[in-house]
Amino acid sequence: MTVQILMPALSPTMTEGNLAKWLKKEGDTVKSGDVLAEIETDKATMEVEAVDEGRIGKILIPAGSQGVAVNTPIAILLEEGEDESALASAGSAPAPAAAPAAAPAPAAAPAAAAPAPAAAPAAAPAASGERVFASPLARRIAEQAGVDLKTVKGSGPHGRIVKADMEAAKAAGPAKAASAPAAAPAPAAAAPAPAAAPAPAPKAEGVDAKALADKLGMAYTAVPNSGMRKTIAKRLGEVKRTVPDYFLTVDVEIDALMKVRAELNGRSDAYKLSVNDFIIRAVALALKKVPALNAAWTDEAMLQYSHADISVAVATPTGLITPIVKKAETKGLADISNEMKALAKKARDNALKPEEYQGGTISISNLGMMGIKQFQAIINPPQACILAVGASEQRPVVKDGALAIATVMSLTGTFDHRVADGAVGAEFLGAVKKLLEDPLSMLL
């Protein structure tokens, strides 16, 4: 029996991706764990591994295809003993893949059509209308064993159901929802309708730059938007329309910090602390002192996070991405420094895993190294705050009634007013300032 290799969901929010490159060609033998292809998501390029053994019988989606919907068949795998004649029975499989590839614009259409290409394995999630994240092998096992995937708890990344979960489910006894797969074909059969007649893409708000340039005869070169650029535009546009934000700025004297940093860096070659490492540590500790800001807004309740997961903005050739130092309040400066350097390198190499950049409870954006004195950053939803870090410079200050020179940098916080009122934002910035101006307190 041939096996369909499906476009995987590499994150909970992924509905489509770009098939950047095939690392196997038709006729190649593969075994479980072999890397088959590279998939571009909106934030990173990720490798797709085989979960079954066999031989690549046919590649359905060529390299370079964009907007391939999740669960679309991208290749057919021939199992041991099968030859090319077995592809005839799978000849109808490529048809569903063509629709999502040709009409990637409306996000709703690929999501609705996703169960159709894999009607049998995905019968259980189709019946409820909810997406169930499972590997192709797990779906096959579920189909053969009559196990309802909705009843299985996944242990893979982001709750993805893998082979081990299905083996455990089989050992515990088949799910009682045997009727769910039988009822699923009806909605699955109706799924191609939206794909066949996709709704037109919504027109962008504001002035149409292309139409205006064409009208006025302005010369230009059209550079296609990357998936990351589109995601940045969408998410930050939503923030400015929906989040009631406000801004607070505080000046921090960092002469003591610079002295402690130099002393610590001189003690070991195992790390090289940056000012940003101290800021990450200070923000994490400040969130523990002001837990009301370590939260996110929902209509039903405020989500109060247990740990300070610090997202740090990193510029890459394709756009901005925010790898996360998780549980930063539990880590020392050396650990934060080494982890951040590794994450930044992976970000620039486009090699971050989704769990390394999705989430976070607060963000830091530092343009100080570019000489920017002060700026206001845009909140990274659903977080309630982003801290914009300006350049450190010598400025005149008044100490004990006399004029003096100090190394000062400006920190500007952007806050979600639904989560934190001005007093809470001020308390948080005050806590960060106190920690940075007394760096030894961060070492305790």
User: Which of the residues are catalytic?
Assistant: 417
- Which of the 8 DSSP states describes residue 411? E
DSSP string, 235-298: HHHHHHHH--EEEEEEEEE-HHHHHHHHHHHTT-SS----HHHHHHHHHHHHHHHSGGGSEEE-
| Spatial separation of the C-alpha atoms in residues 4 and 73, rounded to whole Å | 6
Go through 306-337 and write b for each residue having 16 or more CB atoms within 10 A of its CB, e for each that does not: eebbbbbbbebebbbbbbbbbebbebebeebb
Kindly calculate the radius of gyration of the chain based on its CA atoms and give it in whole angstroms.
26
Share in percent of the chain as helix, strand, coil (round to 5): 40, 25, 40
| Spatial separation of the C-alpha atoms in residues 199 and 211, rounded to whole Å | 22
Show the tokens assigned to 63. Answer: 């390299």
The type of residue at 430 is G
| Spatial separation of the C-alpha atoms in residues 312 and 357, rounded to whole Å | 9
What does DSSP say about strands 73-78 and 3-6: parallel, antiparallel, or unpaired? antiparallel
Show the tokens assigned to 385. Answer: 């705050």
Q: 């029975």: which residue's tokens?
A: 89
Show Cβ contacts of residue 104 under 8 Å, excluding neighbours closer than 6 positions. Answer: 16, 66, 67, 68, 69, 110
Report the chain's terminal Cα–Cα distance, integer Å.
Answer: 62
| Spatial separation of the C-alpha atoms in residues 336 and 264, rounded to whole Å | 14
Q: How many CB atoms lie within 10 A of CB 48?
A: 21
| Spatial separation of the C-alpha atoms in residues 385 and 326, rounded to whole Å | 16
CA dist list (Å): 89 to 4, 76, 86, 140: 12, 11, 6, 17
Nearest-CA neighbor of 251 among 115, 410, 128?
A: 410
Sign of CA dihedral 270, 276, 279, 283: negative
Q: How many CB atoms lie within 10 A of CB 383?
A: 26
